[in-house]
Structure formats: C-alpha cells, structure tokens
Amino acid sequence: MRRLRRLVHLVLFCPLSKGLQSRLPGIKVKYLFLAWLGIFVGSWVVYMHYSSYSELCRGHVCQMIICDQYKKGIISGSTCRDLCEEHSLVFQQCLSSSPTQQVYRGRWMEKEVIIKCGIEDALKADSNPDSVPRRDLVLFDKPTRGTSMDEFREMLLNFLKANLGDQTSLAALVNQIITMADVNRDGKVSLAEAKSIWALLHLNEFLLMLSLHEKEHTSKLLGHCGDLYVTEKIPHNSLYGTNVPHFFQPLLPSAIHRIIHQWFAPAWPRRAKIAIGLLEFVEEIFHGTYGNFYICETSFKNVGYNDKYDFKMVNLRKVATEMTIRGFLKGRHCEQNVDCTYGKDCMATCDKLMKQCKGDMVQPNLAKVCGLLQDYLLYGAPSDLKEELQKQLRTCMTLSGLASQMEVHHSLVLNNLKTLLWKKISNTKYS
C-alpha cells in the first residue's frame, strides 16, 4: 500500500519536464498526457478497490463473534458445528456492500453457498474490529431464562402480527419457526435455540425468506448459527447476467453501461422466460399468504436467475412488508410525495392539506417492474412482437398505486403481458 501511495504521489506531483520532452521528440505531448492520465486512473481504481475492501469485508469479525457466542452456549444453530469446530463452512469471496451487513460467497458440504451476518452492534460496541464485543448483551437478550414454550409461541405470534399483519395463516408460520429452531430435533427448544431464532426474525431478509418459502422465486435457506444464516447461491445475481465492478461504475457513462448489459444479456427468449418469472413474483407478493410486500429498490442488481433461466430474487432486503411501510408512514410530516419515501422508491402520496403521508403508493410493484423490463425486453425483441410489447409495457408503467385500481386492473395488465411473452416462447426449447 505504501508503494501504491508513492506511485500516486509521483504521478500527481511530478509532471513531465521540458528536458524529458526534448529527449523524446518523436512522442507528442498529447500521447504523454494520455499515458499520464491512464496511469493516474489505474492507480486510483486500484487504491479505491483495496481501501473499500478493507472497510467493507469483515467476515473474520463476524465469524469471531458468532463462534465466541456459540462456545459460551449463548446461541445455537444447524451450521454452528461446521462453522466453529469442523471449519467445513468456509468464507471465500466478499460480496458486502455495507460494513454492517456482511455477505460472502462460501463453501459448505461441497456446494457454493451465500453466507450473511450483521455486525452493526459489534462495530458500535468497540472501535477495534478485531476484538470480540459483548453483542450477546443486546442482540440475544430474548427470550429470557424461565420463558415457557407457550409464552415463546405467544411472543412469536405477536411479533409476526406486528410485522406481517393479523393473518389467519400465522399459526402455521409459528409452527414452522419452532421446527426450524429445534436444531437437534429433540422436540424441545432450548434457550440458545430460542435466542438464535428470535434474533434471526428481526432481520428483514430472513423474515421475508420464511414468509415466501413456498415460492420458487426466492433463495432456499440452508442453515443458521445465531443470527448468521446460509442460503443457496444464485448462479446469475443480476438481471443482465453480469455487473460492472462498483469501482468502475462512476467512470462509465450510462450509454456504456447499457451497451455492456446488452452484450452480456441472455438471448431474447431466455430473457422473456426470466421476465415471466419476475412478473409471477410480483403476483405472489401481492395479497400473498402472509400479506402484501413491496419492492422498495427496483434494480437489475437485486434480481437474477439460475442456470435454467428461472427468475430468482437476489436481495430480499430491498423488499418490505405492508406493515413496515405503514408504520413508517403513520403520522409522518410531508410537504410533497418525495417526503413519504421508504427505501429508495416506495413512495406514498402526501396529503398537502393535512401535511401528512397517506397509505397509497404512487407506483405499485408492477409499474416499477415494467419500467425495469422495458429496456431488458425491447432490445432484440422479435419484430412481429415489438410494437405490441412496447404498448403493453407503456400501459403497465402508468399504473397507479391507488387501492381502487389495485385489483382487477393490475391483474388484467399483468396477465396480458405474461400471455404475450409466453405465447412467443411456448413449445420451444426456451420454455
């Protein structure tokens, strides 16, 4: 790193002298300037990459915390032994986008997996990232010793009602959670097992994975240890099949991004199949088994597909429950609609007379997804389909989030779009 800084210093502060230029008369000044610029940009990219890596990637801290608590008997889980004793669950490539949310590609039982855990409380507790903070005092404080099984069931049910709404199906979800918590399958839930599953439920993505576990469009949950959990790896974690490295993104104009995406995107019939899966996911989370869900960052980076080109939701942390959004909007002061935004693009309407946010979304999930699919589907679309496809996508993007339009109109638009795509690829090898 010291050599890299020295190189950057030399490049920035030691411009070419006139004496050097006179020794190299055949080289034009503009070529020397371009070479200097290339070295500077390259040095900056390398420096930014390594500096951001050390800030974002703290998997060793996560593992240290989890294993310390496991050895003390505070937490339990189906992957604890493999992670902390046998070391067969291995952290490999860092995929984190935030230092408080660690995401790693790893290996477990001869398969590639994704490992996720949070270290937010750990970083707040101690400025030294290599120490072992007493996070158990805060995160794993419930349930307390002496809590009966009936009381724990009641805790779970009340928590689910608060986060998913008072759904008739919640009792079945409570049973599923208790079965998952009973790691050793002895028909009982120990205090360590209860504390672990309680902490996991407070992670938005984990709660949504449980709520949507019956759907084929989310990652499978493979195991957990404390509030660390392991999911299946989705082979293609972007709608276009590839992502431009984050440290290059600011350097490239949007037109270059679009060209790169089109270059690496699957063939159009495969894109149509992926799009159908995404539309089915939108249908599933609207009035689903456990209530309504909203996609609050509609980006090609949050959706992907498997090797069979079946759609998979890569990042459920960008999805929120209706209860979560209502809690955020309740009593919230606003001057305009943008003041009523949850996440990146879950925007509600603002009552400008009362100066308070209302509950209706400006754009429903379907309209935002159609906006995402516009470039994705129109590029390379069959000529006999393109005009009708463009018309239906445009209609879809104008949908309103008002409750009066959410039922029949949305279902009609969604089904028309699915039918149009499916007719084109059915009875072919792409179906």
How do residues 344-365 score in pLDDT, each as one tens digit? 989 999 999 999 999 888 899 9
Same domain, yes or no: 211 and 291: no
Same domain, yes or no: 362 and 418: yes
Q: 354 in a domain, yes or no?
A: yes
Same domain, yes or no: 62 and 191: yes
Q: What is the mean pLDDT of the chain?
A: 83
**pLDDT higher than threshold 60 for residue 114:** yes
**Residues spanned by the domain of 404:** 251-427
Query: Residue 273 belongs to a domain with what CATH number?
Result: 1.10.510
Sheet holding 111-118, edge to edge: 90-94, 101-108, 111-118, 228-232, 221-225
Same domain, yes or no: 227 and 255: no
The domain tally of the chain equals: 2
Rounded CA separation 303/240 (Å): 9
Same domain, yes or no: 293 and 156: no
**pLDDT higher than threshold 60 for residue 20:** no
Rounded CA separation 126/136 (Å): 14
Q: What's the confidence (pLDDT) of residue 187?
A: 87
**DSSP code for 266:** P
Same domain, yes or no: 222 and 257: no
Same domain, yes or no: 320 and 217: no
CA distances to 220, 363, 376 from 298, rounded to whole Å, are 21, 11, 13
Same domain, yes or no: 215 and 298: no
Q: How would DSSP label each residue in 176-189?
A: HHHHHH-TT-SS--
Same domain, yes or no: 227 and 257: no
Same domain, yes or no: 169 and 277: no
Same domain, yes or no: 218 and 341: no
Q: 421 in a domain, yes or no?
A: yes
115 phi/psi in degrees, rounded to 5: -110, 130
User: What average pLDDT does the segment 304-331 reach?
Assistant: 93
**pLDDT higher than threshold 70 for residue 129:** no
Q: 200 in a domain, yes or no?
A: yes
Band (324; pLDDT cuts 50, 70, 90): very high
How do residues 34-65 score in pLDDT, each as one tens digit? 676 667 666 555 544 444 556 788 888 899 99
Band (277; pLDDT cuts 50, 70, 90): very high
